[in-house]
Structure 1
Amino acid sequence: MLQYFIIYKPFQVLSQFSPEGDKRTLKDCFAVPADVYPVGRLDYDSEGLLILTNDKTLNHRLLDPRFSHEREYWVQVEGAISDQALHALSTGVDITVDGKVHRTKPCKASAFQEPPVVPERTPPIRYRKSVPDSWMSLTLTEGKNRQVRKMTAQVGFPTLRLIRYRIERLTIDGLQPGEMRNLDRSGIYSSLFS
């Protein structure tokens, strides 16, 4: 039977069920059948939306670079993000991927006027009164390793916190870190592909 879950992956949890050293994994946070696995990944130090399924067709469609789909990230950065940096991010910047220079595809980049309402992070971001921070939304259609962090660093605003908020029309609305929602096939396919 095909099963579909969306989860809010907590900070400092590996996007896998198999153990690796003393790091927490999805197995420590979510009880799902043994044949269910994550589609794609989020870095250990990133958090937010991850899809778990045993549907190999869905996995193929989401990970095949020929099929582009939007992924929206909410990013807390060090410093007050500038319009110039947002323009550079939206038109594409050069980052290093596997030792080679990669020009990122155009994306949507905008600053939040007020910080978004997000769960507290454990442990929290280190607060420094002398260094401002700001939040932005980045919507990408590609997913290179640590791409968002490399992009914000490239324009001079290091990432402090990274949350994947959305994949197409699937969001983490209503979920807290470590929570999971069960979906049916028609719900997940219509949210992702229609």
Structure 2
Amino acid sequence: MVSQFVSSVPVRLLGDLDFEFPEGTHAIGRLDSDSEGLLILTTNKEVTQLLFCGGKPHTRTYLVRVKGRMTANTLKRLQTGVPIRISGDDYYIAKPAHVEIVERPATLPDRPGELPIDAPQTWLLITLTEGKYHQVRKMVGALKHRCQRLIRVSIENLALEGLQPGEVRELNEHVFFQQLNILYPTKN
């Protein structure tokens, strides 16, 4: 599924979900077609500005499966900032990130075409405070580990918490702003 409501090519879209979205609903912090996990949908046009363009950086946490066994040295490089290509020959040093090696969650469903569970792999939990284009994939790729699965599990305190693929959870707007750690806009 593509994290948008319209497309010029025939793909599965958010509007195909079994949910009546209000007019003006849009995605914040889109996921690419090879990623999965938490996607914020809102009708409030201020949320993107408040969340990603404000003075305080907001966290995004990803569960990531990479090919091969990651060493402690490689893990340290991810934690302290790694150069990633942003375009052509231009590189950017990714900000330090919280990265830890974790076990594959027992409740995580297999993905079609996924490599066998006993193939050499490492599961990581990566928390970023920035969101460059394909940043997680570029970070692990720069260290010679191919990203095989990428699941956004949270943005600030707003988390998947058992949501299944395609499931939608509505939140009260005050709760929504509180979980995202952004100030609820007051009308003058």
**So what's the TM-score if we normalise by structure 2?**
0.89
Q: Where does 1:124-135 land on structure 2 (aligned, <5 Å)?
A: 124-127=113-116, 131-135=119-123
2:26 to 29, 37, 61: 37
Relative to structure 1, the CA distance from residue 132 to residue 170 in structure 2 (aligned partners, 3 Å threshold; closer, same or farther) is same
Q: How many residues align?
A: 180
How far did 1:27 drift? 1.5
Runs of 4+ in 1 over 3 A off after TM superposition: none
* Alignment partner, residue 150 of structure 2: 162
The answer to whether residue 180 in structure 2 is matched with residue 192 in structure 1 is: yes
How far did 1:118 drift? 4.5
CA deviations over 1:141-177 (Å, ceiling 9, x no partner)? 0111111001111112111000000111110012011
* Alignment partner, residue 107 of structure 1: 97
- Structure-1 separation of matches of 2:7 and 2:167: 20
1:63 to 48, 52, 66: 52
CA deviations over 1:58-81 (Å, ceiling 9, x no partner)? 121123164310000000111112
Which structure has the highest strand share of the two? Answer: 1
If asked which structure has higher relative contact order (CA below 8 Å, sep 6+), I would say 1
Counting aligned pairs with the same residue, the percent is 38
* C-alpha contact 2:157 2:181 (8 A) present in aligned 1: no
2:161 to 161, 173, 180: 173
How far did 1:24 drift? 1.5
- Structure-2 separation of matches of 1:107 and 1:120: 27
- Structure-2 separation of matches of 1:165 and 1:123: 20
Q: Which residue identity does 2:25 align to in structure 1?
A: V
Q: Which residue identity does 1:103 align to in structure 2?
A: I
- Structure-1 separation of matches of 2:166 and 2:139: 27
* C-alpha contact 1:46 1:161 (8 A) present in aligned 2: yes
Tell me the secondary structure at the aligned position of residue 34 of structure 1: coil
2:42 to 29, 42, 53: 53
The answer to whether residue 88 in structure 2 is matched with residue 87 in structure 1 is: no
- Structure-1 separation of matches of 2:117 and 2:169: 36
Relative to structure 1, the CA distance from residue 20 to residue 117 in structure 2 (aligned partners, 3 Å threshold; closer, same or farther) is farther
Q: Which blocks of at least 5 consecutive residues in structure 1 are unaligned?
A: 1-12
* C-alpha contact 2:52 2:58 (8 A) present in aligned 1: no
Q: Which moved more, 1:141-150 or 1:17-26?
A: 17-26
Tell me the secondary structure at the aligned position of residue 180 of structure 2: helix
**So what's the TM-score if we normalise by structure 1?**
0.86
Relative to structure 1, the CA distance from residue 117 to residue 64 in structure 2 (aligned partners, 3 Å threshold; closer, same or farther) is farther
- Structure-2 separation of matches of 1:117 and 1:144: 30
